[in-house]
Amino acid sequence: MATPIVMPRLGDFMTEGVVTWNKSSGDAVTRGEPLAAIESEKLTYDLEAAEDGILHTVADSGATVPVDQVLGYFLAEGEEPPAAEKPAERRVAARSERSSRSAPSRRAAGSGGPPVRSTPGARKVASSLGIDLSDVPTSGARIT
């Protein structure tokens, strides 16, 4: 019987991760062997094989996959994978009123204000949504 490989939750607030396969679909794998690298906003995790078998990938390498979504399957020799759809890569819809603006993570030189301190994850989200971090109100010294 095919055993699913799912996107792990690597933190309380993780909703998705990027999978990068170390093995190809159809490769034989042994328990404990590194299968893929899972990248979240804060860390990269080596996903190991939970059992021996033949790897069948569902998600493409480099795809952004939601937590608990099937990445692939462990199959027995000669076993066919279950019929499943490929997970859609999540895309953030660009806001039309902000699509023409760039989202710098720091204020421009000569703007008069101190530079904005922010985490890489905050800069990535702000950039994808077209938000200027200098316009975001903060409760501390850093935007997280």
Confidence of residue 110 (pLDDT cuts 50, 70, 90): very low
**pLDDT tens per residue, range 23-35:** 999 999 999 999 9
Residue 61 above 80 pLDDT?
yes
With contact defined as beta carbons under 8 Å apart, do 20 and 62 qualify?
A: yes
Q: For the CA atoms of the chain, what is the radius of gyration?
A: 20
Question: 120: which DSSP letter?
Answer: H
**Residue 44, C-beta contacts closer than 8 angstroms, at least 6 positions apart:** 37, 38
Nearest to 49 by CA among 86, 81, 75: 75
As a whole number of angstroms, the distance between CA 43 and CA 17 comes to 10
The pLDDT score that the predictor gives to residue 82 is 84
This prediction's pTM:
0.56
As a whole number of angstroms, the distance between CA 36 and CA 43 comes to 14
| 14 lies in the same domain as 57 | yes
Q: Stretch 95-117: mean pLDDT, rounded?
A: 48
Q: Across 99-103, 111-115, 124-128, which has the greatest mean pLDDT?
A: 124-128
Q: Stretch 113-142: mean pLDDT, rounded?
A: 76
- Encoded tokens for 65: 């996959």
As a whole number of angstroms, the distance between CA 132 and CA 117 comes to 12
Q: Assess if residue 9 is contained within a domain.
A: yes
Q: Assess if residue 62 is contained within a domain.
A: yes
With contact defined as beta carbons under 8 Å apart, do 94 and 121 qualify?
A: no
Structural domain harbouring 123: 96-143
Q: Assess if residue 55 is contained within a domain.
A: yes
The pLDDT score that the predictor gives to residue 113 is 58
Confidence of residue 79 (pLDDT cuts 50, 70, 90): confident
As a whole number of angstroms, the distance between CA 31 and CA 108 comes to 51
**Least confident range of 63-67, 81-85, 107-111:** 107-111
| 13 lies in the same domain as 70 | yes
| 67 lies in the same domain as 112 | no
The pLDDT score that the predictor gives to residue 121 is 81
| 11 lies in the same domain as 71 | yes
The pLDDT score that the predictor gives to residue 96 is 35
The percent helix, strand, coil of the chain (3-state, each to 5) is 10, 30, 60
